[in-house]
C-alpha cells in the first residue's frame, strides 16, 4: 500500500495555540544537543529557570550556562526524579527510548512534555516557530506537519517587519 501524500489542507492534528506564562518557573530540557539548546534559549527568553539533563552537554550549553544563575546543567543519565517540580519538560535527546522515558515520567506526574523526535505526537505540545517584536509574539505552527515551512514563514514575517522584504530559506 502506498503512503498517501498529505495536502496542506489536511491537518495532522488539532492544536490549541497558547502562550505559557513560565517566568521564574522550573522547566527541564533533557538532551544536550542543538535542538535541546534551542529549547533552552526559548525557555530563557520567556523568563524560565532551566535545568538541563544530558550525558554530555554541548559547548554551546556550557557557554550559555556560564554566569547565568537561571541555568543548571547536569551531565548525567536521565532519572524520573529529574522532572520533579517542573512545570514544562522537553525530551530532546535524539534517543527515542530515552525520550519515551521522559514523556512517561512526565505523564505520571502530570507535567506538560514536548517530545522532540519522530514521536512528537505522543507528547503534550508542539513548539511553534516564534517571532518576537516589541510587546508582540507571533507563533507559527503547522500542527507538526511542516516544521521547516513554519521556519521559512517565520523568516518571511521577520523580513516584512524589518522592512527588508528579503528572506533566507532556513
Weakest-pLDDT range from 2-6, 21-25, 80-84: 2-6
If you write DSSP's letter for every residue of 78-133 in order, what string do you get? --GGGGTT-SEEEE-SS-HHHHHHHHHHHHHHT-EEEE-STTGGGSS--PPEEEEE
Task: For residues 140 and 37, give the distance between their C-alpha atoms in angstroms, rounded to a whole number.
Answer: 20
Segment 115-136 mean pLDDT: 84
Domain boundaries, given as residue ranges, for the chain: 26-122, 129-162
pLDDT of residue 165: 56
pLDDT of residue 143: 76
Whether residue 57 has pLDDT greater than 90: no
C-alpha cell at 102: 521522559
What is the band of 169 on the pLDDT scale with cuts at 50, 70, 90? very low
Between the CA atoms of 161, 163, 167 and 170, what dihedral angle is there, to the nearest 10 degrees? -30
Residue recorded with cell 529557570: 49
Give the predicted TM-score (pTM) of the model: 0.82
pLDDT of residue 1: 36
Segment 8-37 mean pLDDT: 84
Whether residue 5 has pLDDT greater than 50: no
What is the band of 25 on the pLDDT scale with cuts at 50, 70, 90? very high
pLDDT of residue 3: 40
In this structure, the number of other CB atoms found within 10 A of the CB of residue 123 comes to 23
Whether the Cβ atoms of residue 44 and residue 21 lie closer than 8 Å to each other: no
Instruction: Residues 26-122: name the CATH superfamily.
Output: NAD(P)-binding Rossmann-like Domain (3.40.50.720)
- For 58-90, how does the pLDDT look when each residue is reduced to its tens digit (9 = 90+)? 888 888 888 899 999 999 999 999 999 999 999
Amino acid at each position: 500500500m502506498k503512503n498517501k501524500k498529505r495536502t496542506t489542507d489536511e491537518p495532522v492534528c488539532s492544536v490549541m495555540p497558547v502562550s505559557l506564562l513560565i517566568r521564574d518557573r522550573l522547566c527541564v530540557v533533557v538532551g544536550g544537543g542543538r535542538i535541546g539548546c534551542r529549547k533552552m534559549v526559548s525557555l530563557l527568553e520567556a523568563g524560565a529557570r532551566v535545568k538541563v539533563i544530558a550525558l554530555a552537554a554541548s559547548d554551546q550549553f556550557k557557554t550559555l550556562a556560564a554566569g547565568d544563575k537561571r541555568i543548571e546543567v547536569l551531565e548525567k543519565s536521565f532519572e524520573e526524579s529529574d522532572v520533579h517540580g517542573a512545570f514544562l519538560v522537553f525530551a530532546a535527546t535524539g534517543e527515542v527510548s530515552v525520550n519515551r522515558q521522559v514523556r512517561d515520567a512526565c505523564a505520571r506526574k502530570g507535567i506538560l512534555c514536548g517530545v522532540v523526535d519522530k514521536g512528537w505526537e505522543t507528547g503534550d505540545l508542539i513548539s511553534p516557530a516564534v517571532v518576537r517584536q516589541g510587546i508582540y509574539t507571533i507563533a507559527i505552527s503547522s500542527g507538526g506537519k511542516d516544521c521547516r515551512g513554519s521556519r521559512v514563514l517565520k523568516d518571511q514575517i521577520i523580513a516584512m517587519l524589518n522592512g527588508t522584504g528579503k528572506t533566507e530559506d532556513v
